[in-house]
Amino acid sequence: MATVDLNDVRKVYAGGVEAVKGVSIAIPDKQLCVLVGPSGCGKSTLLRMIAGLETISSGTIAIDGKIVNAIGPTERDIAMVFQNYALYPHMKVYDNMAYGLRNRGTPKAEIDSRVRSTAKVLELSGLLDRRPRELSGGQRQRVAMGRAIVRNPKVFLFDEPLSNLDAKLRGQMRVEIKSLQRRLGVTSVYVTHDQLEAMTLADMLVVMNAGLVEQTGAPLDIYEKPASTFVASFIGAPPMNLLSLSTGSSATELERKLLGLAPPGGRAATLGFRPEDAELVADAEDRSGALMLPATVEAVEPVGAESFLHCSAAGNRIVIRVGGRTTAKPGDKLRITATAEKLHWFDQGGRRLDSASPSF
Amino acid sequence: MLDEETKLTPRVVFPNKVLPYLLVAPQLAITLVFFYWPAGQALYQSMLRQDPFGLKSKFVWFANFRKVLADPAYLNSIKVTVAFSLATAIVAMAVALLLAVMAEKVVRGKALYRTLMIWPYAVAPAIAGMLWLFLFNPSIGSLSYVLRSLGIAWDPLLNGSHAMILLVSAAAWKQISYNFLFFVAGLQAVPKTLIEAAAIDGARETKRFWTIIFPLLAPTTFFLLVVNTVYALFDTFGIVHAVTGGGPGKTTETLVYKVYNDGFVNLILGDSAAQSVILMVIVIALTAIQFRYVERKVHYG
Ligand SMILES: Nc1ncnc2c1ncn2[C@@H]1O[C@H](COP(=O)(O)OP(=O)(O)O)[C@@H](O)[C@H]1O
Ligand SMILES: [Mg+2]
């Protein structure tokens, strides 16, 4: 139904805070694009600029190929789900959902059928006569979703819609949002700081940091080839282990050995590997061409299906995932290995080093 | 173990049994001397009838009330009072709301603008009345000059409607500041995201105001309606006295002003007392409404 194109979008707030520092994203039709990043990185600002709630300091935003910089939120034909839901407290659920349709002059009979069918999809049929304060958090969330869906807009915008729910409900709603979005085929932009939510929902993932895009791509591509140490440590839980290695004369023997595994060019400064890509090996064993890292266990976190070993290695803290139960206990000396293709290398500035470096 | 209530409202416990009574005594004394005693006197007076020379009085039970309530002049005064109070409350609130909405939009000098808006509240009612009286005086008033040059035969001294308009303007003007303060606070309490959600839902500014903001201001509006009505009913004696003195004829003689006129000018003490007792009943009723609905405000959310 619509594409959303951001071209070098910037936002400087009245106080001089530069919240968004030049972001370009092209969201194809029907895709669910997730903006993820730490709190304060400018995600909400960017979303609100797409909504028309904030002015665009420079750059352009186009919806369906049409530049909307000068168009107010009323005319953009978008729907937004707010973090606090922003339900109209003095209106019943029915009227909350009908409000947008009424404002656009939809005939009464059509409003009624659309509100009722949307309510049915979201299992709100029995709640249409309630006021928002008579609903649970999860129900309010559904009403907020319903209010967006019923209008059948060009674009859905979500600003951390699940962060006020408890963990179980959040998991449920995540699945539901994804399948609804698929079925309705409405281009969506979804903002979250939760990397798990981002990974599971996104068709297209945009990792943001300090007002800039760090990486754009399919979630698993980003997971497998993080473009920077920031992305590497932000996507994935527990995050990727990053060992900063000193180069040159101050390097220890271990560091020199590790750096030997790096791609040629000698610019490598940080070695990364994911907790699940590491294995424990017996003392005697030595695999050439693979990572061999002595480590000391400092804490053990059994989660049930797996356990996490928090260790210190080469002066860094790292985490290793082992399946099932483990007999390891604090103080144990281990040797960790990972095959060369599971290693990630980053330069001094934190940029990824690759033979075929992704061109983002 | 403390029960829930004592934990939430800690009580001061005095070791001395007499001290607490001593501490409330001044308050009690004032209430007794300045309220219960005159109220009792009024009640007693309202059942007496004096001869024209004030030499003898006779206890007549409710005859004064019957007489007052059957008096066309009193019924006229009720009409005048209702019209005056409603007009004053509505004008004062409408203007204040308009100003508050506009103040919300002011970006620079917001504080100055608000301070200036609040000043009229500090003006004494009689002074406010004099101010308006002079502005609209048919012979010397600068604004009546303007009105007359616009072709309006402005004469509040002879025309009852003009007198009423002048009175309402003066009374409302004084109350606008107070209402303005409450509306500004009320507007600030409306969550910004609701207005944004409504904008995204396709509602333009005017529509947003009437469908979202105004309904959410309902508790404030209701509170102000009661306060303004009480003000117009009972606190406007000074303004009436200064601006019209109840005239021309009896076109602006409100209930409170009639009590004064009958009692202190015409010296019909029994009737005047009966009227003040009726007013007292109205005050008690309004206060009850205020306590019942306003103190425990209509809450959304
Ligand atoms: N209205 C505003 N005025 C000034 N600065 C703002 C405003 N809104 C947000 N900011 C600043 O812009 C930056 C990005 O904020 P935001 O977009 O809300 O981040 P996020 O949603 O990623 O947590 C923050 O530094 C924040 O303090
Ligand atoms: Mg945010």
Distance of residue A78 Cα from the nearest chain B Cα, in angstroms: 7
CA separation for the pair B114, B199 (Å, rounded):
27
Residue A357: per-residue pLDDT: 45
Given a contact cutoff of 8 angstroms between Cβ atoms, the answer to whether A27 and A75 are in contact is no
* Same domain assignment for residues B233 and B107: yes
Which residues, other chains included, contact B19 with Cβ-Cβ below 8 Å and sequence gap of 6+? none
Backbone angles phi, psi at A207, to 5 degrees: -95, 125
* Same domain assignment for residues B94 and B203: yes
CA separation for the pair B171, B176 (Å, rounded):
9
Nearest CA in chain B to A159: B193
Mean pLDDT of chain B: 82
Cα four-point dihedral sign B124, B126, B130, B136: positive
The domain that holds B171 is classified in CATH as 1.10.3720.10
Residue B8: per-residue pLDDT: 62
Contact A74 B199 (CB under 8 A): yes
Strands A155-159 and A78-81: parallel
User: For the packed helices B218-234 and B72-105, what is the interaxial angle rounded to 10 degrees?
Assistant: 140
CA separation for the pair B70, B77 (Å, rounded):
12
How many domains is chain B built from? 2
pLDDT per position as a tens digit, A192-231: 999 999 999 999 999 999 999 999 999 999 999 999 999 9
Residue B282 host element (H or E): helix B269-289
Ligand 1 centroid to residue A20 C-alpha, Å: 9
Please check whether residue A135 touches B, CB under 8 A. Answer: no
* Same domain assignment for residues B111 and B25: no
Backbone angles phi, psi at B191, to 5 degrees: -60, 135
Inside any domain, residue B81: yes
Nearest CA in chain B to A97: B201
Q: For residue A283, is pLDDT > 70?
A: no
Inside any domain, residue B53: yes
Domain range for B58: 14-62
Given a contact cutoff of 8 angstroms between Cβ atoms, the answer to whether A232 and A344 are in contact is yes
pLDDT per position as a tens digit, B10-69: 666 777 788 888 888 999 999 998 888 888 888 887 877 777 676 777 777 877 788 878
pLDDT per position as a tens digit, B241-291: 877 877 787 788 888 888 888 877 877 777 888 888 888 888 888 888 877
* Same domain assignment for residues B82 and B55: no
* Same domain assignment for residues B223 and B289: yes
Q: For chain A, percent helix, then strand, then coil, each to nearest 5?
A: 30, 30, 40
Contact A86 B191 (CB under 8 A): yes
Count Cβ atoms within 10 A of the Cβ of residue A331 and give its class: 0-12 exposed, 13-18 middle, 19 or more buried: exposed
Strands A306-313 and A291-302: antiparallel
* Same domain assignment for residues B157 and B46: no
Last residue of a domain, one of B62, B78, B96: B62
Inside any domain, residue B8: no
Across A162-168, average pLDDT = 89
Ligand 1 — pocket residues by CB below 6 A?
Answer: A 13, 15, 17, 19, 37, 39-45
* Same domain assignment for residues B40 and B152: no
* Same domain assignment for residues B45 and B162: no
- Locus of tokens 């800039």: A212
Inside any domain, residue B204: yes
Token pair listed for A18: 């530069």
* Same domain assignment for residues B50 and B160: no
* Same domain assignment for residues B146 and B237: yes
